[in-house]
Amino acid sequence: MNILILGYGKMGKIIGEIAESRGHSLVAKINIDNREELNTLDPTMINVAIEFSQPEAAVENITWAMERGIPVVSGTTGWLSRKAEVEKLTQDKKGAFFYASNYSIGVNIFFKVNEFLAKLMNETSGYKASLEEIHHTEKKDAPSGTAITLAEGIIRNMDKLKDWHLVGQSNENEHSLPITAKRIDPAPGTHIIRYSSDIDEIEISHTAHSRQGFALGAVLVAEWIQGRKGVLSMDDFLSF
C-alpha cells in the first residue's frame, strides 16, 4: 500500500515507521516546510492519506486528498467546527473519510466504558461529574479531542448535563460538565472521569504510555479503509 503522510511531526514519524514495518511504502511525508511537494505527486499512485497535521491545516489537507479521490484517515483535533463541511465534500466526491479523536484500541474501549458508567450515574443522585486531561506541552488544542469525545459520551447519557466547559475559560453551571486541561511533559495522554459526592468518589482513567498505540491504530485503519466509501468512524472499524 502506498501511503501519503500529511503532517510529519512526532505522530507522523511514528506512523511512518509502523507503516514501513508492515510492508507499506511512503509516497511522501508532507509538513509545513515542504507542502509544495504535493504539486509533484501522482494521486493515482496513492492508496490512502494519513492526516495528522495541525488544526489550521487539517481541512486544507483533507480537501486536497478528497478532491483527488484519495481516501483520508484523519486524527488531527481542534478543527471539528468544520467537520460538516468535510463530510459533505466526502459525500459529493463519493470518497472515503475516516476521523477519530483517538486511534488507540484501548481508548475506544474506554469510550464505551465511559458511556456505560454515565448511564448508571444518570440514575444516581448526589454525584457531580468532571473530566481531567493531561498532555504534553506541545499539544496546541485544549481540551483534547479525546476529552471532547468523552465529554460528549457523558452528556448524551446524563439528562442534567447540556454541554461542557473548559475550567478557567467559561463560567461553571450545574448543567455544564467541567473539563480541566493540563499540559505537562512528557505525558502522551491521560484522561480521568470522576463522579464526586459528599460520601465518596468514583473514578475511571486511561493513561497512554507512548504514542505507539495511536499510530498503530491509524495504520490499521488505513489498511481497512481500502475499497470502502463514506464517512467512517472507529465504531465502523471495531464493529461495536
pLDDT the model gives residue 17: 97
Q: How far is CA 216 from CA 14, 19, 61, 77, 182, in A?
A: 9, 8, 21, 18, 25
| Mean of pLDDT values over 54-65 | 95
pLDDT the model gives residue 188: 82
Residues of the chain with CATH 3.30.360.10: 105-207
What pLDDT, in 10s, does the model give residues 217-230?
A: 999 999 999 999 99
pLDDT the model gives residue 240: 55
Q: Is 139 a catalytic residue?
A: yes
Q: Is 13 a catalytic residue?
A: no
Assign a CATH topology to domain 105-207: Dihydrodipicolinate Reductase; domain 2 (3.30.360)
| Mean of pLDDT values over 49-67 | 96
Q: How many residues does the chain have?
A: 240
pLDDT the model gives residue 199: 97
Annotated catalytic residue within 83, 112, 119, 135:
135
- What is the average pLDDT value for the chain, to the nearest integer? 94
CA distance 102 to 74: 10
Residue 187 pLDDT class (50, 70, 90 cuts): confident
Q: How far is CA 44 from CA 4, 129, 138, in A?
A: 12, 49, 35
What pLDDT, in 10s, does the model give residues 15-52?
A: 999 999 999 999 999 999 999 999 999 999 999 999 99
Whether residue 87 contacts residue 222, with contact meaning beta carbons closer than 8 Å, is answered with: no
Annotated catalytic residue within 10, 13, 94, 139:
139
Q: Which residue has the higher pLDDT, 201 or 214?
A: 201
Q: Which residue has the higher pLDDT, 240 or 160?
A: 160
Domain 2-103+212-238 has what CATH class? alpha beta
Q: What is the pTM of this model?
A: 0.82
Residues of the chain with CATH 3.40.50.720: 2-103+212-238
**Low-confidence winner among 6-20, 63-77, 136-150 (lowest mean pLDDT):** 136-150
